[in-house]
Amino acid sequence: MNSCRFMRIAFILLVCSTFTGFGYSVGLAGEIKPAKMSFQNVVRNSVKVKAWFEEIKKLQTEAIAKTNLMVGEVTKLEQQLSKAQDNAEEKEKLETEIQKKREEIRHEQEAAKVKVTFQQQNMQTVIKGQISEVVEKLAKEEGYTMVISSETLYFSKDVPDITARVTKALDALPTPHQQIK
């Protein structure tokens, strides 16, 4: 993780030194107009992303409720089993049913996990794509030659922060559901 951060910093320093004339003339670099943006803050503040997280949370809540009902059924069957000690046929039937219900619970939990993971991956793909779209459009409209992530930028004097505009533009795009479904 630290080596990745070091590589990012080294790359940024290399890019900055190239554009500021350390070893190269400023004329080769042309006019540089950077902007910065916090990806984390865009995701954290976006109404669209919050709504999708709520949907994922709803999926998880529904899955938990369904499995809890199934666990309740198993508990009832176990209670019946403890009362049916004299009847071997009844006992075997209940043990088989309990085993079947436990397998259904495992299956339901796995299905819910797959569904939630799929939704999360879709959300990440769509949101990252939309943020890239928005950043590129905003950069072109406002004449920025580069947009640097605030998460990897330790200091920037007089570099405009476009995070709020990116968030607003992201929320104005069609919802991810309209693009995925």
Q: Is residue 4 over pLDDT 80?
A: no
Q: Is residue 32 over pLDDT 70?
A: yes
Query: Which class does domain 33-180 fall in?
Result: alpha beta
What are the structural domain ranges in the chain? 1-29, 33-180
* Average pLDDT, integer, range 77-89: 85
Q: Give the model confidence (pLDDT) of 94-128 as tens digits.
A: 999 999 999 999 999 999 999 999 999 998 899 99
- Calculate the alpha carbon distances from 79 to 74, 102, 160, 162 in Å: 9, 15, 67, 62
Per-residue confidence (pLDDT) for residue 179, from 0 to 100: 42
Q: What are the CB-based long-range contacts (under 8 Å, 24+) for 113-118?
A: 115/59, 115/63, 116/56, 116/59, 116/60, 116/63
